[in-house]
Structure 1
């Protein structure tokens, strides 16, 4: 991994964001973040969106925001079609050209005959990226391994990791993650999964290990177990957004901070509810409409707060919501399936909400009568 160079005298070089907001103010929220700045503007995105801030996940150095690839291959929820692949490649290329080095996927992503499609496409896009070897080598893939009921031994979990490597045609994965814990329904399987993480780390198939959908109590347990085996736990991924922010998330973040674990925020836009693009009379297609119909009508105060700050900052509501996750010291991984979405999400970088704005948003979030439904596998 290339070392991060030191910042020039003015880390923001007097730049302004593409929507006119000043890039020059920086509030440091969270640790292990350093800044660099380049005067070379990408041809597609002028001027620079952000000053190449970097974040640590164990031994890895990544961008402060990643992109999630749940939609890549998912027909049911996101309407994936094979003819979208060229657009997805353009989206990937745009992200990498503009400094995004972190991409999250899973071996269970992709429905029906497209199972595993997300991993396959990511590997293909990396190989076909028309850039230097150094740029490709700096890309970090974090993939999650499903705790399927037939994965009962560490050997089976190890084979799952090798299958992911084959799909991506990579020699090594950046972060290998347990997709969920079985503690709530099959506690005897849990130790085998943990041993699987140990095995893939010891064999050098992954550079770092992490978990997903673990609560603070279970996170402490796996951290201590992995530590006893000489394996550092580097990341924890949970649903974390202004729609999913409460005592559980605060407690988990505190545990992560105390143990040096990087928190990764999935669904930072609440599946799209925080974008301002939907209303009770304008719902998304597919299964999301049922959830939106239940929650959206009661989000007026939070959405109004997002809208006011976005207008004040000359940003979009999505950019404000993602920036809040960054200000909380997490790495948000909003999903992208188009160049337009990638461009908008990149506008979340290179600036910081003020402490007053963060308080405004959190006050509005706490007053929401309905929160985002949590993942059914989320543990305590």
Structure 2
């Protein structure tokens, strides 16, 4: 399987960060005597992927994540660390990046793949899953295919692994929806993408697009949904059940609730930027959930982030936590190679229900 073709789409123990000196060259891979986890993969459509992928929303986003170009060297080291340790699924989008950095996430991901100095077989096994925004000016299938070509140019590859519709327009512009679906079909038939997926689709719309694509001979590979202990509701559970029935792999984005499930923030110690207002509203009601995560983490000798990510894996999803530093990637890799017990999973879910606050849902999420 070769999903990235060049043209020239959180062992379980964490290593001490002091053993990870930054390399003098940003283009060298971080090497370890042994991987963090046994490289067991899972099936997703035509692909075999790592049980966790990495999200690249922060790569180019100044507004929410404070991106600066000076971060690119560490971002490449972060990418190298992930790939060297078996991660082969990377999620991005054509809308990731703010202002003059529009499209920066795709550009950086393509650059890091090209400059990865590991084995060619490992590089070629990388699956890029990129999302195409349902902008109001993308009204025809041809315009959606044009968007796909632009992503290919930014990534500098010949074929994207999974081309995804970033959100549904069913809530506000139903006529546009069919054109976008036909755009997915067209980019698949033209060979620009190896598989197609969706994001922010609720259960009803998920069934509709699955059936529509199936009738056109296009299998729906994946569905992204906000899924975490902080956003566990009936909608998510219904989507999970439908995905399992239809053979669609569920990808869970924001598995750490934008960082609220890491235990690094409190109502008196908030992150900078727009997240602070959201955290201030939600964190005071998370004591039951955060307390359970913390106790299990201490018992397991894990971090709270690793427990939260592992819960997503135990539910049969592929979490894609965002990473922008080597330290974050190292911690996230520690979520692999072990499993929460069924009792621990139930305890976490009970505590989630006992916590009065929930993560706000994506405004584009449909029913």
Q: Common fold, TM-score beyond 0.5?
A: yes
Shift of 1:45: 4.4
What does residue 39 of structure 2 align with? Answer: 52
Q: CA deviation at 1:155?
A: 0.1
- Note the 1:233-272 alignment, pairs <5 A: 233-272=220-259
> How far apart are the structure 2 equivalents of 1:82 and 1:129?
19
**Alpha-carbon separation, structure 2, partners of 1:19 and 1:260:** 36
Question: Structure 1, residues 178-234: CA drift from partner, whole Å, max 9, x if none?
Answer: 000000000000000000000000001101100000000000000000000000001
Counterpart of 1:33 in structure 2 is none
How far apart, in 1, do the equivalents of 2:93 and 2:224 lie?
12
1:123-182 CA distances to partner (integer Å, 9 max, x unpaired)?
000000001211111000000000000000000000000000000000000000000000
For residues 328-374 of structure 1, what are the alpha-carbon distances to aligned partners after superposition, in whole Å with 9 as ceiling and x for unaligned?
00000000000000000000000000000000000001111110000
Deviating beyond 4 angstroms after TM superposition, the runs of 4 or more aligned structure 1 residues are: 42-47
Aligned mates of 1:361, 1:98 — CA distance in 2: 28
State yes or no: 1:300 paired with 2:296: no
Tell me how large the CA RMSD over aligned residues is.
1.4
Distance 1:371 1:166, change over 3 A: same
Moved more, 131-140 or 338-347: 131-140
Which has the higher relative contact order, 1 or 2, with Cα contacts under 8 A spaced 6 or more apart? 2
Give the gaps of 5 or more residues in structure 2: 3-10, 17-28
What SS is found at the alignment partner of 2:195? strand
Counterpart in the other structure of 2:271: 284
Contact 2:305 2:332 survives alignment (8 Å): yes
Task: Give deviations 1:211-259, integer Å, cap 9, x for gaps.
Answer: 0000000000000000000000010000000000011111000000000
Match of 2:75 among 54, 68, 88: 88
Q: 1:187 aligns with which of 149, 174, 179?
A: 174
Of 93, 104, 118, the residue aligned with 1:131 is 118
Matching residue of 1:379: 366
Q: What TM-score comes out, normalization by structure 1 length?
A: 0.90
**Within 2, Cα distance between the matches of 1:156 and 1:140?**
24
In 2, the alpha carbon distance for the partners of 1:282 and 1:263 equals: 33
List aligned pairs for 1:57-206, cutoff 5 A: 57-206=44-193
Q: Aligned residue pairs: how many?
A: 347
- 2:21 maps to none
Cα separation, 2, equivalents of 1:191 and 1:77: 32
- Residue of structure 2 in register with 1:350 after alignment: 337
Please give the TM-score of this superposition, normalised by the length of structure 2: 0.93
| CA apart distance, 1:18 | 3.7
Cα distance in 2 between the residues matched to 1:299 and 1:46: 39
Distance 1:46 1:302, change over 3 A: farther
1:35 is aligned to none
Task: Quote the residue 1:226 is aligned against.
Answer: 213
Displacement of 1:46 after TM fit? 5.3
Does residue 334 of structure 1 match 2:321?
A: yes
**Conserved? CA contact 1:16–1:47, under 8 Å:** no
Aligned counterparts, 1:9-28, within 5 A: 17-18=13-14
Cα deviation 1:25-64 (Å, max 9, x = unaligned): xxxxxxxxxxxxxxxxx97445532111111110011100
Cα separation, 1, equivalents of 2:63 and 2:12: 40
Q: What is the rounded CA distance, in whole Å, between the counterparts of 1:155 and 1:338 in structure 2?
A: 38
Q: Distance in 2 between matches of 1:102 and 1:64?
A: 9
Residues 231, 75 of structure 1: alpha-carbon distance in 2 compared, 3 angstrom cutoff: same
